[in-house]
Structure 1
Amino acid sequence: MASPEPWIVFIVATVTFACMPGPAILYMTAQTLAHGRRAGLLSALGVHIGCYAHIVAASIGLASLIASAPRVYAAIRLAGAAYLIWLGVMMVLGQCRPDIGRAAPQATTLRDSITVEVLNPKTALFFLTFLPQFVETGAAMPVWAQFLILGLVVNIAFSAMDLVAVGCAALIRDRLQSGPALRIVPNVCGAILIGLGIALAAAQDAPSGAGTAGRPTSAGLKIKLEREGAAHAPS
């Protein structure tokens, strides 16, 4: 993207997507409300780290393989859905059984968050459909390097909004500290995670560009973004 116009479109689109609440933000909000600010920050960090797996996959062509192999896509999607449901069930049971609740969630929150993000193939499809619109095949910089740089910018922008969501959720949790409502928050948040898992499991198997991304709720949007006028995307 030698001219500034594609960069402007890219930045505007990235910020727009970052501000769209999606499953990742719901996941981090649930972790924050259930376990506190530190758990929310660890969740945001885990999602940020896990997102790099999809960026690398897009840069070396693995995301294209997933998109062209419905069975592989379905297997990864179902594994991610099962993991989300398991996390939600554990969050609910942690409120009912002291032996489960004694385990500090912060010790595993980072690992769980990375796993949730890596096992969400729709995040890979988001990068596969979004980033190529701003990659120049004839540029001096290799295509894979352009993928990495653009992906890094997108991931940082998304993580910035994730931190805002975690901060807001932490403020809500602080308001509930002195009331009985705090005791039911983990149950509600567990139900949210279970619902996210069910929604992911019920999604379409065919990754044909339609669907919901792990980040914004429209990973499969065919992002036009003034494409007709800007003519920045390679054919």
Structure 2
Amino acid sequence: MTLTTRDLTQTKQWLTQVQRSDISNIIAASFANIAPEQYLAKYFDSDEPFERKLRLYYADNKLVGYCLLTFSHELDITVIGASAAFLPYYRNGGNTFVFSIMHSVLCWLKRPWRKHYYADTMLSPAMYRAIAKKTATIWPHFAHPAPAGIFEKFNSGGEVSVANSLRCLVSVNRTSNYSPQELETLKNSDKAEIKYYCQVNPEFNKGKALFVIIPINLTQVLKTLWKNLLN
């Protein structure tokens, strides 16, 4: 099904009360152990980001999903965070890739002398796969060794995974609303990225997320374009 979209920028035009209410409903349907208003306060309302970009996804004029990007300055580094959720029928990680990579690259192009990283948690193995299979360099990854100390830099309070010895786990005290059948499918998946995610973060359905880092630079842009052209 083709979805229509609407893009918002916090410093130009932001959420109406109706849109905020609709996003609350999607959050309630997507996550357990966290109240929608608490989630909104964390990702949509905090003062740390200097900018937010939001894409809303509609089916027959009904809001069915969103992808939020946050942009924050931390000393000499720009850190990009993200949140995405869809109603069950419309979950397809490919929906968010183009939007996410486009605005990450645009942010880097405005200040190419600064280091830019996506650095945030991913609670869903399916979302990790959707990004990892299209991105040239992503950490952690079974084929891309992470630079020494990078997880200590971005995730100093996190936990070390016994599967890869990286500090790439975070207790987030919320879970995705997967059905027992969906959990079984994910845990028995033969898709390389999902299999790796489940090995590194076997307690993803118990409130533990994978901390993911993606460098945004010229090498990444060129290699990602080439990877997607080949695919």
Larger RCO, structure (CA 8 Å, separation 6 or more): 1
Query: TM-score interval w.r.t. the shorter chain?
Result: under 0.3
Structure ranking higher in strand proportion: 2
TM-score in terms of structure 2 length: 0.22
Structure ranking higher in helix proportion: 1
TM-score in terms of structure 1 length: 0.22
